[in-house]
Amino acid sequence: MLLNEVVEKLPNMSKCLERGKVVIIRIDINSPIVDGKILDDYRIRAHAQTLRLASEAGVKSVVLAHQGRPGQDDFTSLEVHKPYLEKYVERPIKFVDDVAGPEARRQIRELRDGEILLLENVRLLAEEVIERVPEAQAETYLVKKLAPLGHYFVFDGFAVAHRSQPSVVGFPMVLPSCIGPVFERELRALGAVFERRGEGVMLLAGGAKIPDTLKAVEQLLKNNFVEKVAVGGLVGFVFAVAKYGLLNDEIRREVERGGYLPHVERARQLLAKYGNKIHVPVDFAVERGGRIDVDVYSLSQAPLDIGRSTILLFKEVVEQGDIVIFSGPMGYIENKVFATGTVELLRAAAKKRLILGGGHTIMAAEMAGVLDRAFHVSTGGRAFIQTLGGEEMPAVKALLMSAKKFWP
Is 361 annotated in a binding site? The answer is: yes
pLDDT for residue 382: 66
Between CA 217 and CA 225 the distance in angstroms is 10
The dihedrals phi and psi of 266, each to the nearest 5 degrees, come to -65, -40
Q: Is 66 exposed, middle or buried (0-12, 13-18, 19+ CB in 10 A)?
A: buried
CATH number belonging to the domain at 196-388, selected among 3.40.50.300, 3.90.1150.10, 3.40.50.1260, 1.20.1530.20? 3.40.50.1260
Between CA 187 and CA 160 the distance in angstroms is 13
Q: Give the alpha-carbon dihedral of 226, 312, 275, 319, to 10 degrees.
A: 30
Tell me the CATH architecture of domain 3-184. Answer: 3-Layer(aba) Sandwich (3.40)
Give the three-state DSSP class for 285.
Answer: strand
Is 334 annotated in a binding site? The answer is: yes
80 CB-near residues (< 8 Å, 6+ apart): 33, 36, 37, 38, 67
- Amino acid letter, 25: I
Give the three-state DSSP class for 210.
Answer: helix
First to last CA, the chain: 19
Is 91 annotated in a binding site? The answer is: no
Written as one string, the DSSP assignment of 342-380 is: HHHHHHHHTTSEEEEESHHHHHHHHHHT-GGG-SEEES-
Task: Write out pLDDT tens, residues 291-331.
Answer: 999 999 999 998 999 999 999 999 999 999 999 999 999 99
Per-residue pLDDT of the chain (408 residues; tens, 9 = 90+): 567 788 889 999 999 999 999 999 999 999 988 888 898 898 999 999 999 999 999 999 999 999 999 988 899 999 999 999 999 999 999 999 999 999 999 999 999 999 999 999 999 999 999 999 999 999 999 999 999 999 999 999 998 998 999 999 999 999 999 999 999 988 888 887 777 777 899 999 999 889 988 988 998 899 888 999 999 999 999 999 999 986 688 888 888 888 999 999 999 999 999 989 999 999 999 999 999 999 999 999 989 999 999 999 999 999 999 999 999 999 999 899 999 999 999 999 999 999 998 768 888 999 999 999 999 988 876 677 777 777 778 999 999 999 999 998
Is 29 annotated in a binding site? The answer is: yes
Q: What is the pTM of this model?
A: 0.78
Q: Is the Cβ–Cβ distance between 368 and 342 less than 8 Å?
A: yes
Is 68 annotated in a binding site? The answer is: yes
Between CA 341 and CA 355 the distance in angstroms is 17
Task: Write out pLDDT tens, residues 79-112.
Answer: 999 999 999 999 999 999 999 999 999 999 999 9
Is 360 annotated in a binding site? The answer is: yes
- Amino acid letter, 97: D
Chain centroid offset of residue 393 CA:
13
Between CA 324 and CA 356 the distance in angstroms is 9
The dihedrals phi and psi of 42, each to the nearest 5 degrees, come to -60, -45
- Amino acid letter, 41: D
Does an H or E element contain 120, and which? none
Residues of the chain with CATH 3.40.50.1260: 3-184, 196-388
Is 43 annotated in a binding site? The answer is: yes
Is 67 annotated in a binding site? The answer is: yes
Is 163 annotated in a binding site? The answer is: yes
